[in-house]
Structures are given as C-alpha cells and as structure tokens.
Amino acid sequence: MKRKIVLGMLTYILGAGTMYAQPQQPVRESKNEQPSSFRSNALWYDTNGEPMNVHGGGMLYQEGTWYWFGEKRGRSRSEGVNVYSSKDLYNWKYEGIALAQVTDTTSDIAQGCLMERPKVIYNKKTRQYVMWVHLELRGQGYAAARAAVAVSPTPVGPYQFLKSFRPNGNMSRDMNLFVDDDGAAYHIYSSDENMDLRMARLSDDYLSPTTQDSLLFRRQREAPALFKKDGLYYLITSGCTGWAPNQASLHTASSLFGPWQLIGDPMTGPGANKTFGGQSTYVLPVPGKQHAFIYMGDRWNPQNLKDSRYQWLPIQFKEGQVVIEWMDNWDLTWFDKIK
Ligand code: GAL
C-alpha cells in the first residue's frame, strides 16, 4: 500500500500532470470483468485479460466491427502498430501487430524507428485498407518527420509497408486522416517543426498526397482530430509540449481547406485547461446514432508509455457550442438520453 502511494506521488511529480481527473471508479477489479461502459484513465484490458496497448490511436468501422489501431509501446520504445477489434466498443479482442518493424536495418521501418498516431481508412475502389503513420527513422530522434504508408487486403493486416516521405517535401509529424462524404481523403499533419498545421488531399487510391496541400493555420498545434457534423468541419488540436498535457483548442470551417476559425477550448470543468491530463487523438462518429461523437484522447505516461491510459468522452453540442466534459463512467446510452 505504502509503495503504491510513493509510486503514485512519484508519477505525479515526474509525470504528465497525472493528477487531473483521476477516475473515482477504481481500475477494473478483475481482468475477466466484461466492461459495458467507458472508464477513462482506468486500465483497459483486452478479452485475453491483457492491458490494451494501442496509443495515439484511430478507429476504422467495417460491417459492424470496430478496429482500433494504435501505437504498441514498450516503456519508451515504439514496437509497431497494434490492432484490436470490437462489436460493442467496450470489449476488445487483440488482433495482433498490424504493422511490424523489421530487422533489416536499411529499411525505413527498421527496429528502433518510431511509429506514432497510426490511422487506417478503407479505399472502396482498390478494396485496400490503407494505413498512414507518423514515422521517425531509427536513430534520428524526431528529425526525419515523415509519413509512412502501408496497405492490406484485410482490416487487421499484416500491413505491407510501401513507402515513407515528407508530403510535398513538408515535414510531417502528428497526423490524422479524414474521409469526406464524397470519398475524398485528406491527411492532416503538423509541419515546419510543428508550427504549421497542414492538410493534403490524397490521391484516389489514398496512397499518396496530391499537390492540393495547404496551410490550415500557423499556431503551433498538433494531435489533430477532425470530424464533420451538419456540413461543418470541427478540428480539435493540442499545443506542443511533448508528453505533458496542455490546453486543447477547437477550430471550425465550412470548407476543409479553410478558412479555419478558432473557437477556443472545448473542454470544460475541472482539469479542462490541461485537457484533463490528456491529448486528443481521434474523434469517433458512432454509427447508427445521430450527432453522436466520441472524443478519444491519450493520457500519456512518459515513465512507461505502454501504461498510458485512454480517455473517451462524449462530445456535447450545447446551444451551438461544442463541449467536452469529464465523465468517470458512461456508456453509449448517454447519446440516447440527451435527445
Ligand atoms: C507529442 C506528440 C506525441 C509524441 C510526443 C513525443 O507532442 O503529440 O505523438 O510525438 O510529442 O514527445
């Protein structure tokens, strides 16, 4: 018990502001418990009883199944891209490593490289699943600032690495993908040492950026998460303070290439000004429910990255304003109750 308290204090002192919004609910009592709600910051186990390792993630929905892709982490190492599947968003089956690092040290994805913020989209024309991931080359820290592309005929992979590059020559770090209603896909990425947030329309096969690539704004933002509601685009981003939490902001636009208008911090309540100790990674539209979007964030633990926790919160639309409020424990019926 004593050891736990000391460890807890140490984590707080060294860690990324972990005192924000601690769950009142304890972490899951039993590995075998079948969850039926979202408990942000708690330990989330997969259906084998193993802690989930899927950070900086994103979601793909295909025929009744969600696939959650994210960074597989060691204490600090990047160990490729993990994928889990679920039919209900609460219970996750581990499907394995979707994109592995390789032993060939001349490869762009050689062991020791960094793979961050992977996202997967499905291309209806080529019937391929296409993964984009922020890639840093082995031994170069964050200097390479590239995007990597990999493909698979199945959602869970294994994905085949195709190439890595700087989109149109631009540095590319934190990133996301967005598919619009017309099937056109976009890569949103932090560029120019993270000063710029840029967007590039992808080629029809989703494998490359086109030259339709422009600056959204220059405000030193990262961790972009984009969604669309009633014809309006919403973009949540974080500031740039590494693993430490900072204040989120929301921009909106009626056209993807802008102009993007700064709305302000969508988070509200205790811990809001530091994004409840976390950082955005994705916004998940819930299929079959109108105006139902889940904010997905990471509460990073820089002392042990694989133990970083997940923060899932419902996005609320209150009098035309986007509001994200901390909730210890909630489930999908929340969306039905607010109607
Ligand atoms: C954050 C970024 C993370 C990771 C981290 C490394 O700013 O959002 O994905 O790159 O920096 O310090």
pLDDT tens readout for residues 197-239: 999 999 999 999 999 999 999 999 999 999 999 999 999 999 9
Mean pLDDT over residues 12-28, rounded?
44
Q: In the chain, how many domains are there?
A: 1
Which atom of ligand 1 is nearest the CA belonging to 241? 7
Residue 31: predicted pLDDT: 67
Ligand 1 centroid distance, CA of 337 (Å):
36
214 burial class (0-12, 13-18, 19+ CB within 10 angstroms)?
Answer: middle
Mean pLDDT over residues 53-60, rounded?
98
Mean pLDDT over residues 281-296, rounded?
94
pLDDT tens readout for residues 119-155: 999 999 999 999 999 999 999 999 999 999 999 999 9
Residue 33: predicted pLDDT: 76
Q: Which residues line ligand 1 (CB under 6 A)?
A: 56, 116-117, 174, 222-223, 240, 242-243, 279
Which atom of ligand 1 is nearest the CA belonging to 238? 8
Q: Is 50 exceeded by the pLDDT of residue 15?
A: no
Ligand 1 centroid distance, CA of 201 (Å):
24
Share of the chain above pLDDT 90, in %: 87
Average of per-residue pLDDT values in the chain: 92
- Nearest C-alpha neighbor of 231 from the set 252, 247, 262: 252
Ligand 1 centroid distance, CA of 208 (Å):
24
State how far Cα 11 lies from the chain centre.
23
Q: Is 90 exceeded by the pLDDT of residue 11?
A: no
Residue 288: predicted pLDDT: 86
Q: Is 50 exceeded by the pLDDT of residue 17?
A: no
- CATH assignment of the domain containing 105: 2.115.10.20
166 burial class (0-12, 13-18, 19+ CB within 10 angstroms)?
Answer: middle
pTM, entire model = 0.92
Strand order in the sheet with 232-238: 222-229, 232-238, 249-253, 261-264
Q: Which helix (H) or strand (E) holds 13?
A: helix 2-14
Q: Quote the domain boundaries for residue 225.
A: 2-337
Q: CA separation (Å) from 279 to 14, 48, 297, 327?
A: 17, 27, 5, 16
Mean pLDDT over residues 244-270, rounded?
98
Tell me the residue type at 186.
Answer: Y
Ligand 1 centroid distance, CA of 199 (Å):
19
Residues 6+ apart with CB under 8 A from 318: none
Sign of CA dihedral 122, 123, 124, 126: negative
